[in-house]
Amino acid sequence: MRPPLVTESEVLEAARRVRARGKEINGWSIRRELGDRGNPRRLLTVWTAKGDAAPPAAEPVDTVSLPAPLLELVAAAQTALTTELDTIVCTIHRHAREDADATFRRITDDLQASEQRIKEQLDLAEASVDATETEMDRRGDAIVIGPH
């Protein structure tokens, strides 16, 4: 087995640089950071196994003790926003579902119409084949029965 093109420490440093820029860390982003060296699958495996793969924790927000009336207003606003967001999400879902159902119905109707046209064409083709076979049989009989 040949030695890796990139050492594990190089992989870890490259992944940290990618993360420091706020980019998603994946095998290809690490490879790009390393000057297009290394197998992306191996690079990501090294990062996942040995790197500090978890993103840095968000800085804790300074919390200030708010007065009770303000806390009540904040709680009411959060409830109202949550309710409004739920309504928006449900509306979006309903519209998406209706659009999907309409598209499904349209496609199904188109397919059924195509199927009907194909059946009609097949019936015509079968009738034509039957007529041709009958004509061939008639001509064949005429040749056999004809004068010798």
pLDDT tens digits, one per residue of 30-75: 999 999 898 999 999 999 998 775 555 555 556 678 898 999 999 9
Within a domain: 124? yes
Least confident span in 57-66, 72-81, 101-110: 57-66
Within a domain: 3? no
How far, in whole angstroms, is CA 97 from its chain's centroid?
17
Residues 100 and 136 occupy one common structural domain = yes
CA distances from 120 to 37, 108, 132 (A): 62, 18, 18
Question: How does the average pLDDT of the chain come out, rounded?
Answer: 88
Quote the tokens at residue 96: 């998406």
Domain that holds residue 107: 66-148
pLDDT of residue 144: 64
Judge if pTM exceeds 0.85: no
Within a domain: 97? yes
- Burial classification of residue 12, based on how many CB atoms lie within 10 Å of its CB (0-12 exposed, 13-18 middle, 19 or more buried): middle
Residues 76 and 128 occupy one common structural domain = yes
The one-letter amino acid at 20? A
Within a domain: 31? yes
When comparing pLDDT for 148 and 112, which is higher? 112
- Burial classification of residue 15, based on how many CB atoms lie within 10 Å of its CB (0-12 exposed, 13-18 middle, 19 or more buried): buried
Residues 77 and 136 occupy one common structural domain = yes
Residues 16 and 74 occupy one common structural domain = no
CB count within 10 Å of CB 38 equals 22
Specify the 3-state DSSP secondary structure of 72.
helix
* Total domains in the fold of the chain: 2
Degrees (nearest 5) of the Cα angle 72, 75, 81?
A: 140
Residues 106 and 76 occupy one common structural domain = yes
Quote the tokens at residue 127: 């009738």
Within a domain: 14? yes
Within a domain: 103? yes
